[in-house]
Amino acid sequence: MLCSSESSYMIRNDRFLIKRWLNWLKAECRYNPPKFMVDCSLLQCEAIQAVFPRASVYFCHFHVAKLWGSYVRKYCKERDWERMNQLLKELRKAKSPEELERSWEGFKIEFGLSDPKKRFINYMEKHWMAIKERPKWVLYVREDYQHIDTNNLLECWFRTLKRYHLEDRKLRADFVIHKLQGAIDDDFRVQYIKVKHGVQHVKLSKWEKERQARAARLDLEEARSMVNKGKNGNFMVKSFTGSGEEYTVTVDVERYLLRSCSCPDYVKQKMPCKHMYLVQRVYQGLTLEQHNGPTHTKPARAQETTDVDSKIALPPESIISPHLLRQLEAERAKEREQRKRKTEEVTAQAFENCESESQDLWKRLGRVVYGNRKKQCTLKDMQGTVEALKEVVRKAEGLTD
């Protein structure tokens, strides 16, 4: 992470240092993840599989595309680059073994006639199309796939780290560790607290935008029919599949905050799901709680609370300054007041619309009752209409009491 490139001496020549670091994470931090994502580095794969033999190692699709593109440019002419990269993208996105084989056979038929392109095909079959190599880059073999097939988000954070915090790349290791534990860690926690308390918003990912769009595509009346109020201020939301199953969306009533949902998507991803976005659409005064990502259960032996856990669990008052806390409280109060004012405005407008519509209905009723046209109905129908009008008048009089 802190090296200028992955071809540095440490990464290229000292695999034992990587294994030693991974063993330290496993033994001291009780870190035992089920999957890793790397930048097509075979050395990193070997080190990870040696320390975590049961873990799955995936290749970042961005770096896979970049590597394949470099070999396309090396072996093939420029006029073929665009078409070849398009077919290779379909190869990476294959959703089944049959689709993968079909795409690869089509690629070989189209580009396997000339010798330079045959060299590229030989490279692919040797290093990528072998059955044992496919789980590293093919999507359909990722059983626990969570819609994340690149490590670009992590690299974006690395770029921010290097640009704003580590301008001098020649720092000694102890100085780097000191900066990471000091100013950088504090800055990260301040940003997290801002997002957690609604002062700073986060950009929605592609998958979150899709969930939000799924809820937005429903007709408003249909959306309202799918959301019902439950106990303790929570909501019961019907499944989008029409199966009749309902999921519970929990609400922090005091903060007007949608906390979680019982649907499988939220349980796995720990990110706002379409049911939460649907509740937010029907009840616009509510906001969504942002999470740091999926949580993992600790091993049974990790009963005691570690220093890292206790540091993360500290309340905001012990992490950020009193001045920033006052700003947070002021922002939250301002947002609550805005939501309250908006609700009052919507309610007042709805009352005004109802009153206008009721006046129009009374006028229409007067034209019907006092009109000179002959009534085309039976006495029973007329008596029923009179009784209905009496009931309407009683209700209207009750509104003004």
**pLDDT for residue 146:** 55
Q: What is the mean pLDDT of residues 331-336?
A: 82
Distance CA 269, CA 278 (A): 17
Report for 129-133, 207-211, 258-262, 297-301: range of highest mean pLDDT: 258-262
**pLDDT for residue 8:** 40
**pLDDT for residue 312:** 38
**pLDDT for residue 263:** 92
Residue 321 pLDDT level (bands cut at 50, 70, 90): low
Least reliable range by pLDDT among 12-16, 66-70, 71-75, 100-104 = 12-16
Distance CA 236, CA 314 (A): 32
**Mean pLDDT of all residues belonging to the chain:** 78
- Whether 374 shows a pLDDT value over 70: the answer reads no
Least reliable range by pLDDT among 88-92, 118-122, 200-204 = 200-204
Residue 7 pLDDT level (bands cut at 50, 70, 90): very low
Q: What is the mean pLDDT of residues 39-43?
A: 85
Distance CA 268, CA 263 (A): 9
Distance CA 325, CA 127 (A): 55
| 130, amino acid identity | A
Higher pLDDT, 86 or 178: 86
pLDDT tens across 59-69, in order? 998 999 999 99
Residue 292 pLDDT level (bands cut at 50, 70, 90): very low
- Contact call for residues 299 and 292 (beta carbons, < 8 A): no
- Whether 303 shows a pLDDT value over 60: the answer reads no
Q: Is 58 helix (H, G, I), strand (E, B) or coil?
A: strand
Helices 115-127 and 97-111 pack at an angle, to 10 degrees, of: 160
**pLDDT for residue 235:** 92
- Whether 247 shows a pLDDT value over 90: the answer reads yes
- Whether 282 shows a pLDDT value over 70: the answer reads yes
Higher pLDDT, 55 or 325: 55
Residue 401 pLDDT level (bands cut at 50, 70, 90): low
In 6-60, DSSP assigns E strands to 35-38, 56-59
Q: Is 137 helix (H, G, I), strand (E, B) or coil?
A: coil
Residue 14 pLDDT level (bands cut at 50, 70, 90): low
Tokens of 50: 């040696």
Q: Are strands 246-252 and 257-261 parallel, antiparallel or unpaired?
A: antiparallel
